[in-house]
């Protein structure tokens, strides 16, 4: 493209039409991907209908959502502002998103103040859920739009048709961080490191996991001596994160700290291997310390792979490995966390067999956790071994996917993204970048990328 166009177009990846195929829209991935996403979102919306008419949200409908529950229990129904007037177990930007939705409830005729009748609260709660669902759908559209701008736009379809959306799309506000992370990766791929950092910084202000992506980014930039873009990305991330967090911290430091203290103090919780070990009467003295130790050891191993492989791995491969490691050893694995891994898997290893195995394992886990919470899987002794098996299956499949990604790193000829002589087509300044001289002295680097 000879003329890069407006700044926003350059930052976000250019016009959608850049991926059109001969023959018009019928041969373009965009309409099919948006259609699939719309159908997937209609499925998850329809799945929520039983929860509007029953208090049993676990079995058989499996339609539980934090959105209406936290609207009621975190004071939004009374007009309380997150962090300033009520504690919230989420980062600042997610709280701001919740407050924005509450303000829209008022704009659409709902009420949020103390002293409302039960019917008035129920009406406002339904409005809040409906408004949030529409906003999250728009954010999911941003996610697939960003992936449509990548080197393999048809792979975005694997996100749009994923059962993860049908099951977990409306459990929580995760579409916000998914969209921001995707914009960050897209901006980096378009060689706009400052904007990549800005989007990732905002992602960290919504959920913490996008900060993990800075680890493989740092290692690969050091390996290729791309220090200036790396520092620009860090500057953008720090600026956007501070811009969002600092005002809240200054106005309500205790409210701001609640998220951090909540996560540090919690023990092994639902979905984690630590929780299941506890159910099996295998007690871990300090889960937080062991989790931290495993995270450190695993991160060192991943960084070593990224630095020492004869051919430099792709950024998406490192991103998938580090987030998968975090979710495997984390103290909790909520069902919606599947959405964190889905886009990274599609970028790291866009193969149908991997996508199917991942989808099956996560769907089994999704069903099992509601059975566990509803005691529908418990036998006479009160032990739901099917739930244990579902957790271990999920972890085993995630480890298997990590092994598959590492195999592609060891043998790049297996990597479908690199077919046709490509290097790291979505890697931005890393694409076709030679290793630094000091790296070549320690490892045997192939003559061509």
pLDDT in tens, 81-99: 999 999 999 999 999 999 9
- Assess if residue 386 is contained within a domain: yes
- Assess if residue 321 is contained within a domain: yes
Element (H, E) at 417: none
| Residues whose CB falls within 8 Å of the CB of residue 217, separated by 6 or more in sequence, listed in order | 188, 230, 233, 315, 318, 319
| Residues whose CB falls within 8 Å of the CB of residue 247, separated by 6 or more in sequence, listed in order | none
- Assess if residue 224 is contained within a domain: yes
Most confident of 140-154, 373-387, 432-446: 140-154
Measure the CA–CA gap between 412 and 313, rounded to whole angstroms: 8
Quick one: pLDDT at residue 329? 97
Selection from 286, 287, 322 nearest residue 302 by Cα: 322
- Assess if residue 108 is contained within a domain: yes
Q: Which pTM value belongs to this model?
A: 0.92
Residue 121 three-state SS = helix
Quick one: pLDDT at residue 379? 58
Q: With 90 as the cut, is the pLDDT of residue 449 above it?
A: no
- Assess if residue 15 is contained within a domain: no
Angular region, 12: left φ>0, alpha ψ -120 to 50, beta rest? alpha
- Assess if residue 3 is contained within a domain: no
Per the DSSP assignment, residues forming a β-bridge with 82 are 86
Quick one: pLDDT at residue 18? 45
Mean pLDDT of 18-41: 79
Quick one: pLDDT at residue 25? 63
Q: What is the pLDDT of residues 288-304, one digit of tens each?
A: 899 999 999 999 999 99
Quick one: pLDDT at residue 74? 94
What's the chain's average pLDDT? Answer: 91
Q: With 90 as the cut, is the pLDDT of residue 394 above it?
A: yes
Mean pLDDT of 12-35: 65
Quick one: pLDDT band at residue 51, thresholds 50, 70, 90?
A: confident
- Assess if residue 100 is contained within a domain: yes
Q: With 60 as the cut, is the pLDDT of residue 264 above it?
A: yes
Considering only 2-11, 95-104, 183-192, which range has the smallest mean pLDDT? 2-11
Q: With 70 as the cut, is the pLDDT of residue 15 above it?
A: no
Quick one: pLDDT band at residue 10, thresholds 50, 70, 90?
A: very low
Measure the CA–CA gap between 400 and 241, rounded to whole angstroms: 34
Quick one: pLDDT band at residue 1, thresholds 50, 70, 90?
A: very low
Measure the CA–CA gap between 90 and 273, rounded to whole angstroms: 23
Q: What is the pLDDT of residues 92-136, one digit of tens each?
A: 999 999 999 999 999 999 999 999 999 999 999 999 999 999 999
Tell me which residue range forms the domain holding 64: 25-442
The domain tally of the chain equals 1
Quick one: pLDDT band at residue 13, thresholds 50, 70, 90?
A: very low
- Assess if residue 173 is contained within a domain: yes
Selection from 48, 41, 101 nearest residue 70 by Cα: 101
> Using omega within 30 degrees of 0 as the cis cutoff, is the peptide bond preceding 415 cis?
no
Quick one: pLDDT at residue 53? 72
């Amino acid at each position: 493209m000879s003329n890069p166009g407006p700044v926003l177009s350059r930052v976000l990846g250019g016009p959608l039409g850049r991926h059109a195929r001969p023959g018009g829209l019928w041969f373009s991935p965009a309409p099919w991907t948006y259609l699939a996403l719309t159908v997937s979102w209609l499925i998850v919306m329809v799945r929520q209908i039983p929860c509007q008419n029953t208090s049993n949200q676990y079995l058989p409908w499996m339609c539980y959502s934090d959105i209406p529950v936290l609207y009621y229990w975190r004071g939004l129904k009374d007009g309380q502002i997150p962090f300033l007037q009520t504690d919230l177990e989420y980062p600042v930007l997610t709280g701001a998103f919740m407050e924005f939705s509450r303000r829209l409830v008022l704009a659409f005729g709902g009420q949020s103040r103390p002293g409302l009748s039960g019917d008035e609260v129920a009406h406002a709660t339904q409005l809040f859920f409906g408004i949030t669902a529409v906003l999250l759908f728009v954010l999911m559209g941003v996610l697939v739009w960003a992936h449509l701008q990548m080197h393999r736009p048809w792979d975005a379809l694997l996100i749009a048709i994923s059962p993860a959306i049908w099951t977990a799309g409306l459990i929580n506000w995760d579409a916000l961080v998914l969209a921001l992370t995707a914009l960050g990766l897209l901006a980096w791929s378009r060689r706009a490191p400052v904007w990549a950092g800005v989007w990732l910084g905002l992602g960290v202000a919504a959920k913490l996991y996008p900060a993990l992506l800075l680890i493989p980014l740092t290692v690969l930039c050091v390996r290729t001596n791309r220090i200036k873009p790396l520092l620009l990305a860090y500057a953008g991330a720090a600026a956007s994160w501070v811009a969002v967090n600092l005002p809240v911290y200054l106005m309500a430091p205790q409210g701001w700290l609640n998220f951090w203290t909540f996560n540090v103090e919690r023990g092994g919780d639902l979905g984690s291997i630590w929780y299941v070990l506890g159910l099996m009467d295998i007690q871990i003295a300090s889960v937080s310390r062991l989790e931290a130790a495993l995270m450190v050891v695993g991160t060192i191993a991943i960084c070593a792979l990224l630095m020492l492989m004869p051919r430099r791995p792709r950024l998406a491969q490192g991103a998938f490995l580090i987030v998968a490691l975090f979710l495997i050893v984390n103290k909790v694995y909520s069902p919606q966390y599947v959405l964190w891994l889905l886009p990274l898997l599609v970028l790291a290893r866009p193969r149908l067999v991997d996508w199917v195995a991942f989808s099956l394992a996560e769907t089994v886990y999704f069903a099992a956790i509601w059975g566990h919470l509803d005691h529908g899987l418990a036998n006479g002794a009160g032990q739901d071994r099917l739930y244990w098996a579902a957790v271990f299956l999920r972890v085993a499949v995630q480890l298997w996917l990590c092994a598959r990604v590492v195999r592609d790193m060891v043998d790049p000829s297996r990597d479908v993204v690199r077919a046709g002589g490509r290097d790291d087509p979505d890697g931005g300044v890393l694409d076709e970048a030679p290793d630094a001289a000091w790296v070549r002295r320690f490892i045997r680097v192939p003559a061509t990328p």
